[in-house]
Chain A
Amino acid sequence: MSLATHIFRKDVRHLRGLLVAWLAVLVIQSFLAVFVFASPPTDTLMQGVINSISLLLPMLQFVLLLAVVPLVIQDEPLAGTTAFWFTRPISGGTLLAAKSLFVLLILVLLPLFIELLSLVAHGVIARHLALATPGILLDKLSAVVLLWVIAALTVNFARFAVVGGVSFISVILIAAGFLSATLLISDDLEGTAVGVGRTTGLLSAIVPILLGALVIGHQYLTRKTRRSVVILLSALFVLLVIEQAWPNSRPFEMHPVDRAIFNPDEIRVSLDLRTVSASDAFGFRARPPARKDVLSELVIQGMPAGWIVEPKLVHASLRYSDGKAAAFEGFISQTWGGQWNIDALRHPLGGADLRRPEQPGGPREPLWRLLRVDESLYRSHAQAAGTLEADIRFSVSRYKIVGRLPVRQGAKFKKQSDYFLITDVLRDPDGARLVIREGRLELVFPEIRPEERLRPGRVFVLLNKSRGQAILPTDERRVVSLPLFPGFSMAPDSGRFQVNSAGLVFVGRKPGEKPIAVDDQWLAGAELVRLEIEELGEFPKSLRVDNFRMKPEINQ
């Protein structure tokens, strides 16, 4: 038996009480995951109880981590001058190996194993298990390494608690200060979407673990606590810089569209100059610099049926003959417009008569922001003709059917690791309510999934193909929406299996439209269709308008 194993066995013996509690929490979690989440109770009260337990267990797990990590690390403290092991034939490397064995085996790999078993019970395929593993590992490691760093730099539990508390408050204050400073400088939050991008989220999980491991390794091998603290502070600074400077931290990053699938040259883009208008720019400060957002409808022609082409980023300039000019680069946000792109949805449904949900004010074509100009320029040049030049990046996507189910209780669709099933069919006077349950695996290293962007990433439609009729849900009420094992870290898509129970409300009768009679016969021939957005990439387009007016006469 090696010395590291000898120390490991001693630690297990020391903390056996807490480890039994740790194991009990894991077992209860896996019991919920395997038996309860696979078939949630229909009883609302029980669902509430299960929700509460499911949320409490990860908290309990974290509290146990808060106790176990410092106790196991500080059984042989690295700081101070009174530790028993300092004068015994135990090297820092041996101790690091022993503690790593404990932390990795019991606090990381054991929960990972139990989570993977639960995923297997939910029908997750082997390839996805392999892809989910790094995400779960990152999540476990990020919590454990953070606590290990604090425990390695403090001499006892009291110091650990004080330093941990002070660090937590400091991080919040620094983050608040940083955000305030960002707001004061930029007056809005555009372009500061830290953690929005997938890469940044991943980076936010991996880099702290690596930097934490560096501090831990240094402390074990040298026991120079002050230098370890300096390394830690430097590491935090590096982390902040990396998160801010990482190029992929900007949202909506995409790859160029494959011309073999979609030819951007066939697309013509112009402005509907009749719709050009301006609105006050929103800012977070009480007195933001007065500015106007200049908006317009975009006319996109030459688009094949079923495709969705939407602008994302714009780099625009407006120049006047007197030398005045304005330039803008940013997200080309949508100001008005419906949630659904009916044409794009109808295409994969074989051109069915698709009823959209009732929307107050009715659908309207979206207005897109092209420019942000100073109020003074707007006042002096609103009706003057200038030259607008804009480089716009467009995203290309389309809806595709991923699953169909007959409308009856118990019907289940499964595709690889994901599934959805109808747990109940309830009749309404003008339609039907379908209670569904979805199981969905979120991966860190994905097979790219449809993401919720400007359009809903996944849509359920009630389709009666023989009658050529389809209905979008007016409402989707989430009943239960829980990951099997909620994570500790803030990293997105961290290898979680998400189970949602939801009620979809389909209404066939609407004022002003010819009603669809959703009766038993109609439902018997209907199916529940699930569509998902398929992202295909992006392409750039340039446009130039010579007589552009921010406030055209037609709008006066």
Chain B
Amino acid sequence: MSSANLEYAIETVTLGRRFGRKQAVRDLTLQVPEGSVFALIGRNGAGKTTTIKMLVNIIEPSEGSARVLGTESRRLGPSEFRQIGYVSENQRLPEWMTVRDFLAYCKPLYPSWDDRFSRKLIDQFELPLDDKLRDLSRGMKVQAALVSSLAYRPALLILDEPFSGLDPVVRDDLIRGVLELTGEARWTIFLSSQDIEEVERLADWVAFLDDGRLGFSESVSSLQSRFRQIEVVLGEDGTRPSEIPPSWMLLETTGRTARFLDSSYGDETIRQVKSIFPGCREVTAHPVSLRELFIALARARRPRAQGGHL
């Protein structure tokens, strides 16, 4: 199947991977729409890197399957990798090479290598061509890897924690670079990150992975309309309710104020608040940033947290 006809650049069905007794990823079913910038977020050890390694056939799934650009991940070969760019913080680059050597080595691997585009990226990132990769800073190494993964204009770019450990300036350069690219062509970008602010600038789709399980996977706009931070000014009888709707998370009561995160905000929310907190004086709903959402979701997943239906 050619990538042009795809609806989804990546599809997984009950994908899972076990390392000994530890189930790193379980029952992961998600679709990455073609042309989207799709972010996989989650805490350390949530299973993001394992998922990506399964997608690019570095490790074999224990259960389920994944299709990348229409090909079963286990069958990805040279012809598929000519359309896939992959940059990972864990990748071992040939550090003995200079940047120039490195790009010259990569070029013959890709028939669609675009020299002009490559030069543009080099200029944009201000990469020192004659320095060896081992002498570059972490940020520059990522940039060099990014140039080597973009110069052939892949249909799918997979970035595994690309911003980790980078200083804000380099991070910004990188994001601007990626944003420019997405503006130029309808590339699919799949990235994993803990840097939620950067993800918020880039991504139009987000999936949340927690302890190997998928929390949600939807567009950022849908998330932002669905989630609200609700603040309730309680009346005289400010007791904490014994039961709350499953969509309410992290309910906190401080004095006469109750706060919670609602994962299915709508008209019904106000009615539910008034029913659960009879005599409440005021109900306000605030939009939440992706960062706030991520922290809230991460906390909500803790064993003692209340609620948590996504």
List, in ascending order, chain A residues with CB within 8 A of B82's CB. 89
Q: Is B110 an interface residue (CB 8 A)?
A: yes
Tell me how many residues of A have a C-beta within 8 Å of chain B.
Answer: 19
* Nearest CB of chain A from residue B228's CB, rounded to whole Å: 40
A75 interface hit (Cβ, 8 Å)? yes
> How many angstroms from the CA of A91 to the CA of B90 in the assembled complex?
21
Given contacts A14-B96, A81-B58, A81-B59, contact A89 B90 (CB under 8 A): no
- A89 and B86 form a contact (CB under 8 A): no
The answer to whether A84 touches B93, judged by C-beta atoms less than 8 angstroms apart, is yes
Contacts of A1 in B (CB 8 A): 108
* Given contacts A3-B109, A87-B84, A89-B81, A81 and B94 within 8 Å (CB-CB): no
**Given A3-B109, A6-B108: A87 and B58 within 8 A (CB)?**
yes
**Known contacts A14-B96, A82-B92, A88 near B58 by CB under 8 Å:** no
Considering the complex, give the chain A residue whose CB is closest to the CB of B149: A87
The reply to whether A84 and B59 form a contact with Cβ atoms under 8 Å apart is no
Verify if B77 is at the interface (C-beta below 8 Å from A). Answer: yes
Residues of A with C-beta under 8 A to B53: 81
| Total interface residues in chain B, CB < 8 Å | 25
User: When A10-B105, A75-B94, A84-B93 are in contact, do A89 and B56 touch as well, CB less than 8 Å?
Assistant: no
Find the residue from B81, B88, B93 having the highest chain A CB count within 10 A: B81
Known A-B contacts A75-B94, A81-B90, A91-B77; A86 and B56 likewise in contact (beta carbons under 8 Å): yes
Contact A84/B79 with A6-B108, A89-B110 known, Cβ cut-off 8 Å = no
The winner among B86, B88, B105 for most chain A CB atoms within 10 A is B105
Complex Cα spacing A94 to B101, Å: 20
Tell whether A90 is near chain B: CB-to-CB under 8 Å: yes
Contacts of B77 in A (CB 8 A): 89, 91
A6, A75, A81: residue with the most chain B Cβ atoms closer than 10 Å: A81
A interface footprint on B167-209 (CB within 8 Å = 1, 0 otherwise): 0000000000000000000000000000000000000000000
Q: Which residues of A contact B110 (CB under 8 A)?
A: 89
Assembled-state Cα–Cα distance A6/B110 (Å): 13
CA distance A75 to B94 in the complex (A): 7
Which one of B84, B92, B101, B105 lies within 8 Å of A83 (CB-CB)? B92
Determine the chain A residues whose CB is within 8 A of the CB of B101 once the complex forms. Answer: 13
Q: Say if the beta carbon of B71 comes within 8 Å of chain A.
A: no
Q: Is the CB of A86 within 8 A of B57?
A: yes
CB-CB contacts below 8 Å: A349-378 with B:
none
Query: Given the complex of chains A and B, what is the CA–CA distance between A499 and B143 in angstroms?
Result: 60
Chain B neighbourhood of A91, CB < 8 A: 77-78
User: Which single member of A81, A83, A88 contacts B106 (CB below 8 Å)?
Assistant: A88
- Judge if B254 is at the interface, Cβ distance under 8 Å: no
Question: Which of chain A's residues have a CB closer than 8 A to the CB of B109?
Answer: 3, 6, 88-90
Instruction: Tell me, yes or no, whether B137 is within 8 Å of chain A by CB.
Output: no
Instruction: Identify which of residues 268-288 in chain A touch chain B, using a CB-to-CB cut-off of 8 Å.
Output: none
> Which residues of A lie under 8 Å from residue B81 when comparing CB positions?
87-90
Is residue B275 within 8 Å, beta carbon to beta carbon, of the partner chain? no
Indicate with 1 or 0, residue by residue over B77-115, a CB within 8 angstroms of chain A CB atoms: 111011010101011111010000100011011100000
Q: Are A84 and B91 within 8 A (Cβ)?
A: yes
Which of B81, B92, B106 has the most chain A CB within a 10 Å cutoff?
B92
- Distance to closest chain A CB from B98 (angstroms): 11
> Could you tell me the distance in whole angstroms from the C-beta of A79 to the nearest C-beta in chain B?
12
What are 9 A-to-B residue pairs whose CB atoms are below 8 Å?
A: A1-B108, A3-B108, A14-B94, A75-B94, A82-B88, A87-B56, A89-B77, A90-B81, A90-B109
